[in-house]
Chain A
Amino acid sequence: MGRMANAESYVLAIGTKKGLWLATSPDRRDWSLSGPHFLMSEVPSIGIDTRDGRTRIMVGVRSEHWGPTVFHSDDLGETWNEPENGAITFPDGTDAALERIWQIHPDADSRPGVVWAGCEPISVWKSTDGGEHFELNRGLWDHPHRSEWGAGYGGAAAHSIVVDPTGEKVHVAMSTGGVYRSLDGGTSWEPRNKGISAYFMPDPNPEFGQCVHKIAADAAVDGRLYAQNHHGVYRSDDDAESWESIAEGLPADFGFVMLTHPRRAGTAWVIPLKADGERIPPDGKLAVHRTDDAGASWKRLDAGLPDAEYNAVLRDAASVDGAEPAGVYFGTRGGSVYASADEGEHFTEVASHLPDVLCVRAAVVSAALLPARP
């Protein structure tokens, strides 16, 4: 459903290698930037929860010295709260310690208070109190495959969590390990990677072990998922039972980003990089590519983007908002952040020369929440 532009505004949270910046805008073109928050700590995960009549920004923060933790703010970053005993801590008996929070994912509107988290070491967590305390998902933690899951270049991460409207079907993607699916709300898990290549393994088509970089669900087609793999772009129409390539028409099949439209069937965005060994935009030309037909064809979108760009865009450094038309946002490892108010047709620069952008998340919020603009 469309949003009323005169009653609402937009917030864009930018997590970087050295802190968090917040940008606000009345129109998604003119942005005001504030920050840094958590200077010198990396912010690899952000969740903006607009359910329950509240805008809560949750951030996974990690200090090289002092470790990882979760903060939340209910006043757009004016104040931050850290649960006294930590929102995510490995329970006794696991002999594990939290390394990094890779994903903070507010669940559906129908399940207010439920927030999922994906972490390193590879683990999935669930909160029922708005992200203040998370419980370790034991089904995945105790999975017999866990000892065989590996670490991608950035660490061993459960980085994608997709929950269907019923709450029963949950897909998780991890690097490396691939896609795992639960049909019972997260109690039990099975790998679902048929068709996804793991060219870097002796058997390139294993049951699990793929380095899936990001997955996202189609907003309007039940059972349809999209995946950006470590080389390979895929779609599944059967809840990940099988995957088929949709990379034809893209300039490269490597990359980290996979975004889907908040409402419309068949629309997804990727940001290709040349190759595993050359992690730059193809030909140094940064572009977003959008499909409106579930991957049958792709449209190159680069209006407003720089002529030359040699920095990568990481898996969570891209986001969509819930507005109509949908906004598309991303940031580079060179610290540039771009926003589009028209689904990628035109981009404007929100910020530049920030530290490496690790995560961006955008949301439509009440204009009354934003500070008065001069």
Chain B
Amino acid sequence: MNSAMISGGAMPADSAISVVLPSVLQPLAGGQSILTAPAEASVTVEWLLNAVTGDYPALSRRLRDETGAVRRYVNIYVNGNEIRRLQGLVTAVAPGQEVLIIQSVAGG
């Protein structure tokens, strides 16, 4: 059962973490731009992604491959820093924080 909720739900801001999706991925999340997971304490990015994409497997596949690795041109920002420059998927995210998912500049 997914614990993700639509942003603006009943959870106080300091007991939830929001994940902001780029517009191109929003149709895969039922049209939502922000997915929110309850968190009383810090969690990892991996836990957060599992929580918010649990009900949206097609969205999950866009972000990570079958091995769990973040796709090469998917960038995930915590406090303005891309997680590859932090601790990757085990980067900690605190309640009240917002995580941004942005596709990188790529292609031709």
Query: Which label, helix, strand, loop or mixed, suits the secondary structure of the A interface?
Result: loop
Q: Return the contact of B69 from the options A63, A84, A97 (Cβ within 8 A).
A: A97
9 cross-chain CB contacts under 8 A: A64-B73, A65-B103, A65-B104, A65-B106, A66-B62, A66-B71, A69-B61, A95-B67, A98-B66
Q: Is B58's CB within 8 Å of the partner chain A?
A: yes
Asked whether, in the complex, the Cβ of A86 is within 8 Å of the Cβ of B104, the reply is no
Given the complex of chains A and B, what is the CA–CA distance between A275 and B25 in angstroms?
Answer: 43
Per-position contact with A for B48-63: 1 when CB-CB < 8 Å, else 0?
A: 0000000001100111
Contact A86:B61 (CB < 8 A) given known A64-B106, A95-B67: yes
CB distance from B77 to the nearest CB of A (A): 15
Would you give the 0/1 interface string for B12-39, flagging 1 where the beta carbon is closer than 8 Å to chain A?
0000000000000100000000000000
Q: Does A79 contact B (CB under 8 A)?
A: no
Size category of the A interface is 10 to 19
A96 to B103, CA, bound (A): 23
Residues in A neighbouring B62, C-beta threshold 8 A: 63, 65-67
Residues of chain B touching chain A, judged by Cβ–Cβ distance below 8 Å, are 25, 57-58, 61-63, 65-67, 69, 71, 73-74, 103-104, 106-107
State in angstroms the CA–CA spacing of A96 and B104 once bound together: 23
Q: Which residues of A contact B66 (CB under 8 A)?
A: 89-90, 94, 96-98
Cβ-neighbour of A97 out of B57, B67, B74, B103 (below 8 A) = B67
Question: A84 with B57: in contact, given A64-B107, A65-B73, A65-B74 (CB under 8 Å)?
Answer: yes
- Cβ of A85 within 8 Å of any chain B Cβ, yes or no, is yes
Q: Mark A240-261, 1 if CB is under 8 A from B, else 0.
A: 0000000000000000000000
Query: Is B57 a contact partner of A86 (Cβ separation < 8 A)?
Result: yes
- CB-CB nearest 8 A-B residue pairs: A97-B65, A66-B62, A65-B103, A65-B73, A90-B66, A97-B66, A64-B107, A97-B67
A-chain residues with CB within 8 Å of residue B63 when the two chains form the complex: 66
Q: Which of chain A's residues have a CB closer than 8 A to the CB of B103?
A: 65-66
